Amino acid sequence: MITGGTGSFGRAFVSKLIEDFPDIARLVVYSRDELKQYEMSKVFPQTKTGKIRYFIGDVRDEERLKLAFRGIDIVVHAAALKQVPAAEYNPTECIKTNVIGAQNVISAAMACNVQNIVALSTDKAAAPVNLYGATKLCSDKLFVAANNITGASGTIFSVVRYGNVMGSRGSVIPFFAEQRKKGFLPITDGRMTRFNILLEEGVEMVLHAIENALGGEIFVPKIPSYNILDLANAIAPSVPTKIVGIRPGEKIHEEMITIADAPMTVDAGKYYIILPDNYRYSFSEFSEKVGGERVNDNFRYNSGENEHFLSIEQLRELLAAKLDINPF
C-alpha cells in the first residue's frame, strides 16, 4: 500500500511495481482526493491490472488506516503536506498530517502486523529551519523509534531521505518554465544550491530500502547538486533574472546528513545510511547484509559542498529528456 499514492512518487512507484513485480496480489493506493484517484484509475485501471485498489482515506484517521492495512505486507508512506510557505502559514494542519499522521501509520501498521514500512523524508528534515522540515524530522524520529516497540508484530520501519525531485509539482523547475513567459525569472539568492534526484531514482531507492532495511535506518542517496542560476540559465538563457530575496523558512544550501549524524553514518556505495543510534544490531550485522564503511566523524552531506554538480548543459539534457523542457 502507498499512502499519498496519487502524487508524483505514487504514480511512478505503482508503474514500477506493475511492470517489474507481476506476482503482487493486491496494490492499494491510499489518498484523500477522489478526483486524483479517478484520474489515476484511468491510467492504471483495476480491470487492466487486476490488482489495484483505490482507497479513500486520510492518514489523520487511524481507524481508516487499520481498515486499509488489513492483509497488507508492505507500506510505503508518502503522504505529507510539503509546501513550505503553506506549512508556515498553517502550522497545525502540517503537524496533524506529517507528525500525528505518521504516528497513526505506525500504530495501524503494528496493529495489523504489516511486515515492512518505508517512510519518505526530505533533505529539509536535516537541521530544519522551517516547519515542514521540523515535522518531517519528527516523523523520521517516530519511524526510527517505532522499531523499539514492535513487539510481536515484528514490523520493520525505515526511512528514505532525498532532495528535490526533478520537476515535481510545486517545485522550482515547473515554476521557472512557466515564469519565463512573463519576461523574467525571480531568484531568491544567486548562491542557492539544491540536491537533484530523478523520480525513477527515488523509486529505486525505496525498493532498495524495502529489501535491505533491518530496522531504523535512514537511507540517503548520492546525488548531484545544481546552482539555482545555472538552472535558470538552462531553462531560459535569454530571460533576465531578478533577485527577490529568500523566503521564510528557506536555506541557501540543503543538507541531508549533518555532522552530528556522521558517527552513525555508513557509506554503502550507492547510498549513505544513517544507522539508528540505539544499536538495535551491531555494525558487523548490518555490514554483513548491506556492506559499507563508516564515514569520518567530520563528514556532512551538503548541497553546496557536494563533489558532483550538474553543469548547465547537463541540466538542459536532463530537462529535455525527462520533462520535455527546452531552452526558452
Q: Which CATH class is domain 2-163+196-222+255-302?
A: alpha beta
Task: State the CB neighbour count (10 A cutoff) for residue 168.
Answer: 17
Pick 277 or 12 by higher pLDDT. 12
Main-chain dihedrals φ then ψ at residue 323, nearest 5 degrees: -125, 0
With cut-offs at 50, 70 and 90, classify the pLDDT of residue 61. Answer: very high
Which active-site residues does the annotation give?
A: 124
Give the C-alpha separation, 252 to 258, whole Å: 15
Cell of 7: 502524487
| Residue 101: strand pairing partners | none
CB of 221 closer than 8 Å to CB of 166: no
Q: What is the pLDDT of residue 208?
A: 95
Residue spans of the domains in the chain: they are 2-163+196-222+255-302
Task: State the CB neighbour count (10 A cutoff) for residue 297.
Answer: 9
- DSSP characters for 294-316? EPPTT--EETTS-S-B--HHHHH
**Over the stretch 251-290, which tens digit does the pLDDT of each residue have?**
999 999 999 999 889 999 999 999 987 656 666 777 777 7
Share of the chain above pLDDT 90, in %: 79
Give the C-alpha separation, 122 to 248, whole Å: 18
Mean pLDDT of the chain: 92
Q: What is the pLDDT of residue 292?
A: 82
**Over the stretch 69-85, which tens digit does the pLDDT of each residue have?**
999 999 999 999 998 88
Q: What is the pLDDT of residue 85?
A: 87
Give the C-alpha separation, 224 to 202, whole Å: 13
Cell of 131: 516547519
With cut-offs at 50, 70 and 90, classify the pLDDT of residue 164. Answer: confident
Give the C-alpha separation, 256 to 305, whole Å: 12
pTM, rounded to two decimals: 0.93
Q: What is the pLDDT of residue 49?
A: 67
